[in-house]
Chains A and B, each alone.
Chain A
């Protein structure tokens, strides 16, 4: 079996990993690079809990062979805010109880962040369409949609204040 060295940018920093053929980005992030915020809910592309961003686009890390990431840029939940400096989406998820068990939260937050970057004022329908690939078993989803709406208006207000 040939191992392959893969280099890419992770949350703004250069990283390298040694991968077995078809190791997933998910397993490399979690097992080699310590990014356990990317969850493994199904490893079938069905739950969205491993959603990360590759060159800004949300992708399911369990479906991406790490070989495909060579030379690209990957952002995980660890690349967003920290507990004392939450991103707007993290903040509204926290404040508005859009989390229960928390296992789907990183994936949800990654998708929501990507959505708001390209569409700062999404309708509820656009939010639900963006969330369609992410499973939450606890919250009933509505609080998550509410939190994303709240984050959108918070970002707009902040940008309005800066402008």
Chain B
């Protein structure tokens, strides 16, 4: 069944009022859904688009609030969030980044969805608008929620001012326009030579991006020395649940998870081995 109706919502609330209805899907920039619509495999009769919903903005007020419909090309210009910028720049090619959105990227299945690990490391929250109102869970919580994510509209991502140092590494088969094999984003708050707070998030190696709790625990409360970095990297790799796909096997993705985390940590600490 082809798409019979495309509704261009003028607000997140308007989109949310239609979101849960049968045969209806929400669409951001369209990079995920448009190929399916063209191929006739979308499986929805009605598509509700957020293109005109007023969600393309970046506002700074102590925190950075990024509208979910901000193109990745815009995210790739956020100088004060270098890890996020680097993740956005790594997605596909220029013309696609002008279409793809921050919000849509958070719905992309592995190995796509490069922004989530960085946003996890930055303790981002999301603003979700549902038929009954809105809520602002932590991204980490939202990503692990069960249930139909199509019933609410992701309106905004809020990134606190990063505390500490951040690092991001993404491995792919090609330097550009290449699905990730593994990626890692980290944030470390160092106090008195020891790690006071650690965030280690990994992407492309599990159905959704996730925080590697064991890696964070290994790092917290001790100096970030080579042994800690190595063990945290292995702990993160153990938290991965990669699958084989056309680009890489599960075996290789797990190996590269450890490498990514280690390199991201070294990058954050400014002690790259290269």
Contact = CB atoms under 8 A, between A and B. Distances in A.
- A–B: direct contact at CB < 8 Å: yes
Interface stretch (A10-18, A88-96, A125-133): A125-133
A43 B34 CA distance: 9
B3 interface: yes
B39 interface: yes
Contact of A68 (B4, B51, B73): B51
Given A60-B96, A63-B96, A21 B6 contact: yes
A114 B93 CA distance: 13
A43 B38 contact: yes
Interface string B2-44: 0111101000000000000000000001110011011100000
Given A22-B3, A57-B73, A63-B35, A48 B93 contact: yes
A3 to B, nearest CB: 11
A132 B174 CA distance: 10
Contacts of B37: 22
A129 B34 CA distance: 24
A62 B39 CA distance: 11
Contact of B176 (A58, A64, A128): A128
Interface in A3-28: 4, 21-22, 24, 27
Contact of A24 (B38, B73, B98, B177): B38
B92 interface: yes
A53 to B, nearest CB: 9
Contacts of A43: 35, 38-39
Interface in B210-265: none
Contact of A133 (B3, B5, B30, B95): B95
Contacts of B175: 132
Given A43-B35, A45-B34, A58 B3 contact: no
Given A21-B47, A22-B37, A111 B94 contact: yes
Given A60-B95, A64-B99, A65-B49, A45 B5 contact: no
Contacts, number: 92
Contact of A21 (B5, B73, B98): B5
B99 A1 contact: no
B31 A63 contact: yes
A45 B35 contact: yes
Interface in B56-83: 73
Contact of B31 (A45, A58, A114): A45
B95 A51 contact: yes
Given A45-B35, A64-B30, A22 B94 contact: no
Interface string A28-55: 0000000000000001110010010010
A99 interface: no
A44 B41 CA distance: 12
Nearest to B30: A63
Given A60-B96, A63-B31, A133-B93, 19 more contacts: A2-B4, A22-B47, A24-B34, A27-B38, A44-B35, A44-B38, A44-B39, A45-B96, A48-B93, A58-B95, A62-B38, A67-B6, A67-B51, A128-B176, A129-B176, A132-B175, A132-B176, A132-B177, A133-B177
12 contacts: A27-B38, A43-B35, A43-B39, A45-B99, A58-B94, A62-B35, A63-B34, A68-B30, A111-B95, A132-B92, A132-B176, A133-B92
Q: Enumerate the 8 nearest inter-chain pairs by beta-carbon distance, A residue then B residue, closest first.
A: A133-B93, A132-B176, A21-B6, A132-B177, A58-B95, A44-B35, A132-B93, A22-B37
